Structure 1
Amino acid sequence: MKMLYNITYIEFKLFLRTFVNVFFSLVFPSMLLLIFGGIYGNDPSDMFQGHGTVDVSVPAYIAMIIAVTGIMSLPLSVSGYRERKILKRLKATPINPFYILLSQILVNFIMTVLGMVILFLVGKIVFELNFMGEFFDMLVAFILSTLSIFSIGFAIASFSPNMKFATVIANIVYFPMLFLTGATVPLEIMPKLMVNISKAIPLTYAVELLKGVWLGKDLSEFSKEILVLCGILAVCTTISVKKFKWE
């Protein structure tokens, strides 16, 4: 356990040295909230069934943070370690290479939580953000969404021969998630065609689940979203187990 703690601590420091990861997981979501919150405010809106723009945006931005850490950070780190033969070298030491993978999950999960906390504080202090849901339901929705999206990141890392290939695939997966799922631009203002396209993108279901639970709906109302996210988690985990190579 001490070994895992030490590795996680080192990985955490390495994460903080990567400006892009830190900026897009901790700073960028709050910047978006300040910009769009400053434009639209948080007064009740007919477009969002009486909810404020900020109240609707925060859970969507949480999904965006999950995508940043799970798709843009996690697979690049793992594939980079494989490319540089770090995982191979660890096999010759008492350190279990599995600890590296587990530490990546822990570090990216912690950064996701930290990004969510900063986003919540900005929303609460500046715009009087409202949380209308149940804490337990939100926790379940957050963990399921995070594990599901992280599993996609591991699947990318599993079949990527090097970091450059992983970067290309991660960008191809990430940017449609960013703009076509409601994570940044609300689906409520998109034309029907774009809404239909969004249904083919996994993060859409995380956005809908997090947003719905945040606004006070019960988890039981999102059986489709939960099943889709569980299915993604199962499929991508299976791919990762079968295809992952240490070198």
Structure 2
Amino acid sequence: MRGLPKLAAVEAKLFLREGTTLVVGLALPIVLLVVFGSVPAMRQALPELGGSRIIDVYAPILVGLAVASLSLTVLPTGLATYRDKGVLRRLATTPVGPGSLLGAQLVVNLVATLLVVALLVGVAAIAFGVLPPRQVIGFALTLVLLVGSMFGVGLVIAAVAPTGRAANGIGMLCYFPMLFVAGLWTPGSTPDVVARIGEFTPLGAGVDALHSTWAGAWPAPLPLLVMAAYAVGLGVLAARLFRWE
């Protein structure tokens, strides 16, 4: 991919200039953490949570939200907009090629994801006493699989959406149900049926595995396999469906 570093630098500047991207992709998870952590009841240990606090349970969920925000809104909207405006088609006639722009988009979104996750873990620990993940290797593996599977969803959306606005709409249709089954709205008390469904979604499986790593345990095989299957399957599907124009 010729020109990838320069394209990535340009895409990073455009990323930072876009207000919606900054709010949804970067600020929202941190703001939610601060809001939730500022509520006294969220910082009280609860017997039904095994002595944990609600904010402790929310930390892994907010990591999942950060990954989902970038994967389902920012990534597909940007790629679909470029195709709709003919940017990818024009790049196809240059030595750089549209593949380099796709690579630059993935790099920028990956870096942004890792930055937000690092900020979440740091702010949660410093401001609210949430212990960092105790199973570090398991956390890293889970994060890789979660990003891979959720980026796969985003790439499929970008592949089928005719415009950037359509991509954003499809992304939102996936975003809120995924957050629901992952436990954002009912942390620690998700209904059994919803929790069972969530186990077989990439975000729900990822949050489940993240909870394990935060508790110091290695993630169970099922969520890892679910995320890996989505990452590979959706990656192949996106490659088959994606068109430069």
Q: How does the TM-score come out when normalised to structure 2?
A: 0.92
Question: Percent identity at matched positions?
Answer: 28
Which residue of structure 2 lines up, in the alignment, with residue 163 of structure 1?
164
Determine the structure 2 residue equivalent to 1:226: 224
Q: Secondary structure at the match of 2:96?
A: coil
Name 1:239's counterpart in structure 2: 237
Cα shift readout 1:136-156 (whole Å, capped 9, x = no counterpart)? 221111111001100110011
Whether 2:102 is the aligned partner of 1:101: answer yes
Confirm or deny: 8 A CA contact 2:201 2:226 kept in the other structure. Answer: no
Query: TM-score under structure 1 normalisation?
Result: 0.91
Equivalence for 1:121: 122
Quick one: distance in 1 between partners of 2:27 and 2:163?
28
Q: Please tell me whether the aligned partners of residues 148 and 231 of structure 2 are also in contact (alpha carbons under 8 angstroms).
A: yes
Native 8 Å contact 1:72 1:170 kept in 2: yes
| Structure 2 CA distance for aligned equivalents of residues 200 and 223 of structure 1 | 12
Q: Please list, as runs of the form range in 1=range in 2, the aligned pairs for 1:8-47 lying within 5 A after superposition.
A: 8-39=8-39, 40-47=41-48
Q: Which runs of 5 or more structure 1 residues have no equivalent in the other structure?
A: none
User: 3-state DSSP class of the match of 2:185?
Assistant: coil
Distance 2:104 2:17 in 1: 16
Please say which of residues 194-203 and 85-94 is displaced more in the overlay.
Answer: 194-203
* Structure 2 unaligned regions, length at least 5: none
Q: What is the alpha-carbon distance in structure 2 between the residues aligned to residue 141 and residue 45 of structure 1? A: 27
Contact 1:26 1:118 in 2 (8 A): no
Deviation of 1:2 after TM superposition, in Å, equals 7.4
Deviation at 1:160, TM superposition (A): 1.6
User: Residues 179-198 of structure 1: matches in 2 within 5 Å?
Assistant: 179-182=180-183, 184-198=184-198
**CA apart distance, 1:52:** 2.7
Q: CA RMSD in A?
A: 1.8
**Range that drifts further, 156-165 or 228-237:** 156-165
Q: Count residues with an aligned counterpart.
A: 244
Match of 2:53 in 1: 52
Instruction: Answer whether contact 1:41 1:127 (CA < 8 A) is retained.
Output: no
SS in 2 for 1:190: coil
Q: Are 1:83 and 2:79 matched, yes or no? A: no
Contact residue 8 and residue 106 of structure 1 kept, 8 A: yes
1 CA distance for matches of 2:191 and 2:140? 31
Following the alignment from structure 1 to structure 2, what is the Cα–Cα distance between the partners of residues 41 and 181? 19
Task: Tell whether 2:74 aligns with 1:73.
Answer: yes
Counterpart of 2:3 in 1: which secondary structure? Answer: helix
Q: What is the CA distance between 1:122 and its match in structure 2? A: 1.8
* Distance of aligned partners of 1:199 and 1:85 in 2 relative to their CA distance in 1, 3 Å threshold: same
What one-letter code is carried by the residue in structure 1 that aligns with 2:16?
Answer: L
User: Match of 2:148, SS?
Assistant: helix
Partner amino acid, structure 2, of 1:191: P
Structure 2 residue 217 is the aligned partner of structure 1 residue 217: yes
1:146-169, Cα deviation, whole Å (9 max, x unpaired)? 011001100111112222321221
Check conservation: 1:21, 1:68, Cα contact below 8 A: no
| Contact 1:133 1:216 (C-alpha < 8 Å) held by counterparts | yes
> Aligned with 2:70: secondary structure?
helix
Per the alignment, do residues 215 and 178 of structure 1 end up closer, same or farther by CA in structure 2, a change over 3 Å counting?
same
- Shifted more, 38-47 versus 63-72: the winner is 38-47
